[in-house]
A and B are shown apart, each in its own frame.
Chain A
């Protein structure tokens, strides 16, 4: 991939701590994380002290910080579990945010080289995206590639990239039924590509390994879709899938790009798919409604900022989905509260 010179002052790495012992996680990432400012947010439901090794430049936020900032909105917005990272996004003032789950360590590419996931996300975010026409050689801005014959010249300057979705080796982000059916299935395929997901094409964005341009799409990375029995394993959540679709709709509306592919992280073994399936299967079912909803969502031409888009999305969710299930009603409410909170905190 092409080397971009990174301004480290423009980046925050946000870690949602769902476990107390962050030592091995941070040691694995030390070569990369030690160069950046980190925002670590402790899951407000987690009891005890976080163990963070020395030599990192970080700010730590815990339940009391969250309660202090969020104040009266705390009724509507939950920052428990995986959602704790959104508080980190709220607190950041940087241009780029990279966020990686605390059970993922650096991967190695096919040649055995250490994959600097942060650097790759920043490269993805700082080079143009090409959502209006598919390039069959994938990312045309990467070294050794270009636009293919037939790619319209007027579309070759591309648009800004709002979101970079990375992938996972070893434990892929499959849902519980799929992993339960194929307990031995591990992702061993390193696909050496980044591509732009076309405009108006929806996709499931996994929160496990992402980067985004906070200045362009920041408010759209929001905690909203909480399942009744949401747990602390990704199999027991779909909050990031909901959020990801909001971000995609926002990007499509604002003519920004969403990229998917590199970088990979190595996702460690954790949990039991069958146990998770027994606990929480509602998320899988709800996707049947969520996906068609987002696919057919059209925003008004006056929605010109991420905040405007989110307010409109929330209104349509309330009108169309909320009657079917309280999860949607809560999501719509939370989205509205979040936009207010974001605006308030950003102007402080």
Chain B
């Protein structure tokens, strides 16, 4: 008889929040997968078999009701690096570890950041819409963007992703300023020619492009609000690839409507997706993508592989490579 694989709970395969077939196959190589819907058909029967909960795009949510059905749970593994949606202490209190997938997300997230920055600066969306519009008869001369080469980029949050954004901007001869909880070492700074701004206000005043790459914590919630937006140049662009709640969205709407800032490009909002009547959706100077920072075949595959790696370690009682342990002094 073949050795039974460990049971792991997933949201679904396919569908809005589900795994692509190819990615689910990677999970299936090592685990016996059960979908959330299947679990609910007979939670008393299936629940106790499940040792791993794989979270993908926040689903299934690791909430008390669900966790209560999983007495054998050893680990909650979240695909992606953000863990603001997880109550780590609570999950730990149930005897389960929490793991995420840092590192593997950084390149594609930094790439998307640059893509959003360039698309916004050079009005690529508008350009495409004009180019394919059935009414377009002439090439418009008035579709003017702002210069990226040689401009000043302000990075708020110079972690792994922030640093990779700096690396990419260097190729565009951008002047790089950054603000971080702690200053990076000299070699790191010199490698990308980045200058530390101890004062966030300073960075906001000087930057043509402000990129938010922090993680969401109680300290960074609402980090960019009315005051911060009013410090920015009226020709500046805000790019957010962190979490929607880092920005005060109402303040952002006002700033964009009034011309306090030139434009915004957001891969993240709060909630996701925004309600269909949200003012952000109607503004001409906003570019929004549906949280696709890691949406490439390569990166998604690497994330799933790392999820498997962490889950296998937890199940075997070995050290979990990317265990999330909350800092005591956070």
Bound pair (A, B): no
| Residues of B in contact with A (beta carbons under 8 Å apart) | none
| Residues of A in contact with B (beta carbons under 8 Å apart) | none
